[in-house]
Chains A and B, each alone.
Chain A
Amino acid sequence: MPTLWLVLFLLLLSTLGFFAGRARALKSAGGDPRKLHSLPVYYGLNVALSGLVPALGVLAVWLLAQPMLIDTRVSSLLPEDSIPADLTRDLVMSDVRRVAEGLDIAVGQGALSEAEVGALKAGSSDIRARLGEVGVALGSDVRPEVLAAARSYRALSHTGTLVMAAVVAGLSLAGLAWSYARTHRDYRARNVVERGVLALLILAASLAILTTIGIVLSMLFETANFFGLHDWRDFFFGSTWAPNFRGDSELSILPLLWGTLYISLIALLVSVPIGLFAAIYLSEYAGKATRSFAKPLLEILAGIPTIVYGLFALLTVGPMLADIFGKGGALGVDWMAGATSVLTAGVVMGIMLIPFVSSLSDDIINAVPQSMRDGSLGLGATRSETVRSVVLPAALPGIVGAVLLAASRAIGETMIVVMGAGAIAKFSLNPLESMTTITTRIVSQLTGDTDFASPETLVAFALGLTLFVLTLGLNVLALYIVRKYREQYE
């Protein structure tokens, strides 16, 4: 891990810089800290930060940019005719990377020396076997072009890393020297340090935006690749989801969307009435004791990880429903073939969402001013009449927002549907059949061996992007509604 050592080196340098800067400032003031513009510690910090921050910044950017630059360089070294007809340039490049990585590991473990690596010939010595010994399995024998490319890949990486270390260390030293030279009793160290810290704070805050941009860009690029390989009309308007390896997959989102929405609908049918009534009872009827007892208990349901609900669906609810509706079941009907079904996933997801709906609605119902309730009760309305005709209508926008948030949760939920819904993409109204969802297909297309050049893998990014847009839209709408609602009573 040369990067780790580099970072440790930088940290060490700046620690030294801290003490040096502090000492120099004190010296310039004749050892009397009262004569300094700022506290001595700020002079130290100023030197340390100017040695650390720019260097670390360059390091981060370098680490991000280097792989891309080297990829492009090496890729351009591969002659066009060296790429077999059944492979793409990207695939050959991943072979190159793998060989280079394997050689690195082999050298690192001492199985090969640098000289031996230089002497390796694709034909004569069996690279595949040698690399297999150190634990790097290759799919096929290494061709000469690939080996050559891997060598230059390694060479470039090595040079890149060396240059990076030199540049970063140099930058750090330069920063230290520059700020050390400027350290003087009249230097406004505190103001400089504070400006620097503020910049760091801003950087941290903008990470949220970077994450969003990262999400959108990463999915957008791969989605664009996907639409380059697969007709977008089939994706959006087709009717069949049938990936296969022959290259004529039908990849339409519509059956998946149907499954997703159907399961979410059932989840909402379970969670909204129960959650809403629970919230009404807790905020309008329950005494303090009941409230302080029931509310946290219900909220435990929200803190249980989704994998637990998934297991519950797969091993408890599913078999139970199959015992009722399945062959030889309690009802004597044969409506359910296996344990996985829309109903299984929907019901379990509904249970998961009960506390979500109830605590959101509870907040919203509590925001309705007490004077409204007094007005209604003072007219001789019963509590339920008050709730139905005054409180709920007043809270309606907020509750709609809460339900939308719950819907967005349901649409994006993964583990419960992966384990409880099944894997069959189809349009059906029967809730006892197993169906599949967007999230389950993302998981199944992206786990195991992924090949970023095939539409069957890339479709996951298009699905992910659709999911992101869908949930984002619901969230923005819901947050907007809830915010408007709160403003009304503030």
Chain B
Amino acid sequence: MTDLTPDAAPGRRHGGSLLTLDARTRRRNRAEARFRAYGIGAILIGLLMLVVLVVTIVSRGTGAYTQTFVTLDVELLENKLDKKGTRDIEAIKKVSTFGYTPLINAAFETAAQKAGIETALKPKDQAAILSKSAAAQLRDYVLADPSRIGQTVSFRFLANSRVDGYLKGRVTRESIANDKSISAEQLDFVDQLIAAGMIRKTFNLDFILGSDASDQRPEAAGMGVSMVGSLFMMLVVLVLALPIGVAASIYLEEFAPKNWLTDVIEVNISNLAAVPSIVFGILGLAVFINYMHLPMSAPLVGGLVLTLMTLPTIIISTRASLKSVPPSIRDAALGVGASKMQAVFHHVLPLAAPGILTGTIIGLAQALGETAPLLLIGMVGFIASNPPDGIAAGLLSPNSAMPAQIYEWAKRADPAFYERAWGGIIILLVFLVTMNTLAVILRRRFERRW
């Protein structure tokens, strides 16, 4: 129907019915459908990545929240621990953890007999399924109350990471072919102990509250101390970045004259917001540690670096919420004789507060997940084994932080630590999701439409 004959004048084509699609329209509609499909595809890829990420984190990280424990009755033999029988604490202290190992070996022998387990393993190899911290745990128990010597006490020991991995399916008989720290016989022994109800996998609170452990004992490592480190850093960021950020925003938004200096400050702030975080780490290393001699690995330094990094974010969002307060409010205050400063502090600032708070929380969340600058000020590579005692120690004594702890675990080439790294990410994300949800709720609740 279309007159596409060669002699037809250009620009004339219609006259056909609307109800039939010509070939060209059909082709264009196909292109349209393709284009639309690309768009949907792009969104789906993005969402798919999110799903993959979440599923990976959850599936690989939840393992860290359960841990394998061995329940064992240990007889605290007097002839090993306190030969003189004086219960003199100094004498007992002289017995090193090495002296406790025979007790555990003996306990395994007794337990195996009692449960009717037949194994070719020597007691020493049986005891090797425990964490290397077992003897120390025993020693700490005895030192806390020497009067217990001579009794038989039931203990819950951490199993070592291979046994733990075996119960979680990470370690199999095939995968340990070249593994010196565990043998197939030991796994058989573990199977028998499971049957006897002596080995059990339970919820592991120590992962959330405990401290990091050396790279020989992944089963004992926890996030607790690094969480405290992060907390102290966030305190520093909050105490410094919020007032400074708000003050800077008030000046720029309400008082600053329009001149080149203000322009320079504004351009500066928007550029600082995009400076790579590692550059802030270099700044921290050079200024706070190398020049001002603040202690390495201290949460105070981490907090200072993150403050500088978060300030632009807070300033930008604070200015936006100050800007959203209509000028009529300022005029009203000025109209009843308030000074400019009073108008701002009595009226504009309270009205902008929810927005400022939201921006601050988002800035804090960003700082909480930041890792790169912490690497340079020494918050990685450090085993945070004790929680700080008091605020000054919390700020100044060396510590790690959640993301730095995760990185530390990821560096240790042991799948048991990988599981803990993913598990740590779950905790980190729980914090971030909580903070962001809080920000969203605040925004919804207090959002004002002028």
Contact = CB atoms under 8 A, between A and B. Distances in A.
Contact of B425 (A298, A308, A413): A308
Interface in B415-431: 418, 421-422, 425, 428-429
A107 interface: no
Contacts of B293: 67, 97
A200 B270 CA distance: 21
Nearest to A282: B43
A280 B247 contact: no
B406 A311 contact: yes
A274 B285 CA distance: 38
A414 B372 contact: yes
The 9 closest A-B pairs by CB, nearest first: A412-B276, A305-B369, A281-B39, A277-B42, A384-B35, A204-B247, A218-B286, A414-B372, A201-B251
B265 A206 contact: yes
A377 interface: no
Contacts of B245: 204
B39 A285 contact: yes
B372 A439 contact: yes
A281 B36 contact: yes
Interface string A435-465: 0000100110011101010000000110010
Nearest to B283: A215
Interface string B253-285: 001100000001101111110111111111101
Contact of B248 (A190, A201, A308, A439): A201
B251 A198 contact: yes
A471 B275 contact: yes
Nearest to B308: A211
A382 B50 contact: no
Given A194-B339, A304-B429, A208 B50 contact: no
Interface of B: 28-29, 31-32, 34-36, 38-43, 45-47, 49-50, 53, 56-57, 60, 243-245, 247-248, 250-252, 255-256, 264-265, 267-272, 274-283, 285-287, 290-293, 308, 311-312, 315, 339-341, 365, 368-372, 375-376, 378, 380-381, 392, 403, 406-407, 410, 418, 421-422, 425, 428-429, 432, 436
Contacts of B375: 414, 418, 443, 446-447
B247 A312 contact: no
B380 A447 contact: yes
Interface string A206-241: 111101101100110110000000000000000000
28 contacts: A64-B292, A201-B247, A201-B250, A205-B251, A207-B248, A208-B315, A209-B268, A214-B287, A219-B282, A219-B283, A275-B42, A294-B47, A297-B47, A301-B46, A305-B368, A305-B403, A306-B371, A311-B425, A382-B28, A385-B32, A405-B274, A412-B275, A414-B375, A415-B372, A419-B410, A475-B275, A476-B267, A479-B270
Contacts of A63: 292
Contacts of B406: 307, 311
Contacts of A134: none
A273 interface: yes
A278 B41 CA distance: 8
A209 B266 CA distance: 9
A297 B270 CA distance: 26
Given A307-B369, A447-B376, A476-B271, A273 B42 contact: yes
Contacts of B428: 305, 307-308
A298 B49 CA distance: 9
B286 A408 contact: no
A440 to B, nearest CB: 10
Contacts of A280: 39
A354 B403 CA distance: 22
A274 B287 contact: no
Interface in A295-343: 297-298, 300-301, 303-308, 310-312, 314-316
A464 B279 contact: yes
B227 to A, nearest CB: 15
A198 B244 contact: no
A208 B53 contact: no
A312 B279 CA distance: 24
Nearest to A295: B43
Interface of A: 1, 4, 63-64, 67-68, 97, 190, 194, 197-198, 200-209, 211-212, 214-215, 218-219, 221-222, 273-278, 280-282, 284-285, 294, 297-298, 300-301, 303-308, 310-312, 314-316, 351, 354-355, 358, 382-385, 387-388, 405, 408-409, 411-415, 418-419, 439, 442-443, 446-448, 450, 452, 460-461, 464, 467-468, 471-472, 475-476, 479
Given A412-B275, A418-B375, 4 more contacts: A1-B392, A308-B425, A312-B56, A450-B285
A274 B47 CA distance: 11
A415 B268 CA distance: 25
B341 A307 contact: no
A278 B47 CA distance: 10
A471 B422 CA distance: 31
A418 B312 CA distance: 25
Given A294-B43, A311-B406, A355-B46, A204 B248 contact: yes
Contacts of A387: 35
A200 B43 contact: no
A232 B13 CA distance: 69
A contacts with B: majority SS: helix
B275 A307 contact: no
Contacts of A4: 392
A443 B278 contact: yes
Contacts of A452: 290
Contacts of B432: 303-305
A304 B56 CA distance: 14
A229 to B, nearest CB: 16
Contacts of B35: 383-384, 387-388
A305 B365 CA distance: 9
Contacts of A284: 39
A415 B277 CA distance: 10
Nearest to B295: A101
A274 B436 contact: no
A294 B47 CA distance: 8
B371 A277 contact: no
B175 to A, nearest CB: 15
A414 B278 contact: yes
Contact of B311 (A208, A294, A297, A467): A208
A351 B49 contact: yes
B258 to A, nearest CB: 14
Nearest to A352: B49
A315 B409 CA distance: 12
A442 to B, nearest CB: 6
A284 B36 CA distance: 10
Nearest to A207: B244
B265 A209 contact: yes
Contacts of A355: 46
A300 B286 CA distance: 34
A275 B422 CA distance: 27
A351 B121 CA distance: 50
Contacts of A201: 247-248, 250-251, 255
A413 B275 CA distance: 10
Given A311-B422, A415-B407, A443-B375, A281 B42 contact: yes
Given A204-B244, A355-B46, A222 B265 contact: no
Nearest to A305: B369
A65 to B, nearest CB: 11
B283 A439 contact: no
A198 B341 contact: yes
